[in-house]
A and B are shown apart, each in its own frame.
Chain A
C-alpha cells in the first residue's frame, strides 16, 4: 500500500521545504538499499498518522548528492528530523516504528 502522503524531495527544493515551522522528517534512501526498503511501509504508516502535523519526505541520495553530503550522511537509511530548518535529531538504520515515533515526538 503506497501512501500518497509521503512526498519526494530533491536538492533544489530542500532548504525551503525543511525551513517550515511544520516539522519535517526526511528519509534519505536509495533503490539499492535493502533496509531502506524494509522501513518503507513504516514511513508510509507514519505519513498517514501524522498527516498535517509532520511532513514526511523521501530523498533519493542517488539523484541528490548535495544534501546528503551537507549532512555528512554515510549510511542509509538515515532519517533526519527538521524544524525551522534546524536538525532536531537523527537516526540511522532500519529501526522500528516506536523509535521513529519517539524521534518525531521530539519536534512536537
Chain B
C-alpha cells in the first residue's frame, strides 16, 4: 500500500461506519474505512432485525450488513482490512498505528469501533466458552436442538434471542436479576406468549459447572438463596462493553465504562475527531441510531475539513 494519508479515516465497519462510509463516498471525500474483518459489526450477531425502517418484512442481521456494505461500495467506498492498535490525535495530521507497525494519517477521524458482548465474569465462564457458554444465539442455537438452555439478561437482545432459541431448544429459561424485563414491549409479549420459555426472576448466575461441557448453573436470588439449574448451555446477553483498546481514553474524556462522549453533532473533546454508533456514550444502542450518527459524523467532519486552514 502506497497511500498513507487520507482526509478522513473511518474506524470500524458496523452500521455507523458503513453509513459514514456511504456519506463520505458520496461526498467524494478522500477517505479510508478501516475494518477488522468482514463488515457488519454486532449486526452479524443478530438473528433477525425487525426494527430497521424500510424493511417492513424484517431481515436477518447478515442480510442487513451485506446490504449496507453493498450500498456504500456502490459509491466507491475505500476500505482496508487492518487492526488499529494505537493513535496519536494531538499530532497534525492525526496518526494511527496498525498491528503490523504501519502508520496511517488523517486530518479527520470518525471512531465507529463499536462494542462487544459483556461477560459475566463468573467461574466456569471462560473454561466452558464454546463448550456450552455462548454470546451469540444466532451462531450457536442450532447446536442445542431439543436441549435445555438458559439465557441471562433482560434487555432486547436477551429476550429476542430467547425467542429465537426456542426454534431449536426444547426449553429456554430466561434468568434475570430484576423482577421485570427492560426489553421493548413487543419483544416481551412474544416471549411471554412462548410456552417454551420460562423465567427465573431476581436471580444471578454465580457459577457455570460441568464436565466436558456445561451441565448446570449455580444461581443466587436477591434473598441470598442458592439453587442449581441443570442446562446444556448458557447464552450470556447482558449488554456490551466498548471496543476502546486503541483509543486515547483520557484525551477523549471517556466515561461510564469507557464510552466516548460527544456533542449532538458527534464531535468528541478532540477537534477533528468524531464518534458514532455504540462506542458513543449514550442511552440507546440501536442499529438505526448508529447509522444516523455515522451520517451526522461525516457532515460534521466535512465541515471541519473545509474550515481547516491550509
Contact = CB atoms under 8 A, between A and B. Distances in A.
Contacts, number: 87
A93 to B, nearest CB: 7
A92 B37 contact: no
Nearest to A33: B139
Nearest to B61: A34
B142 A30 contact: yes
A76 interface: yes
Given A74-B213, A75-B143, A97 B233 contact: no
Contacts of A85: none
A76 B61 CA distance: 16
The bracket for how many chain A residues form the interface is 20 to 34
Contact of B138 (A34, A74, A77, A90): A34
Contacts of B144: 74
B130 A34 contact: no
Contacts of B38: 37-41
A103 interface: no
A34 B233 CA distance: 20
A43 to B, nearest CB: 9
B212 A34 contact: no
A76 B83 contact: no
Contacts of A30: 139, 142
Contacts of B140: 74-76
B131 A38 contact: no
B134 interface: yes
A38 B37 contact: yes
Contacts of B138: 32-34
Interface string A69-103: 00011111110000000000010111011100000
7 closest A-B pairs (Cβ-Cβ)?
A34-B44, A92-B130, A38-B37, A75-B130, A33-B139, A74-B143, A38-B38
11 contacts: A37-B38, A37-B44, A38-B40, A39-B37, A73-B130, A74-B233, A75-B129, A75-B130, A75-B134, A75-B136, A97-B99
Given A34-B46, A74-B143, 19 more contacts: A30-B139, A32-B139, A33-B138, A33-B139, A34-B62, A35-B44, A35-B139, A38-B37, A39-B38, A45-B81, A72-B212, A73-B130, A74-B131, A75-B129, A75-B131, A75-B134, A75-B136, A75-B140, A93-B135
Interface of A: 30, 32-42, 45, 62, 72-78, 90, 92-94, 96-98
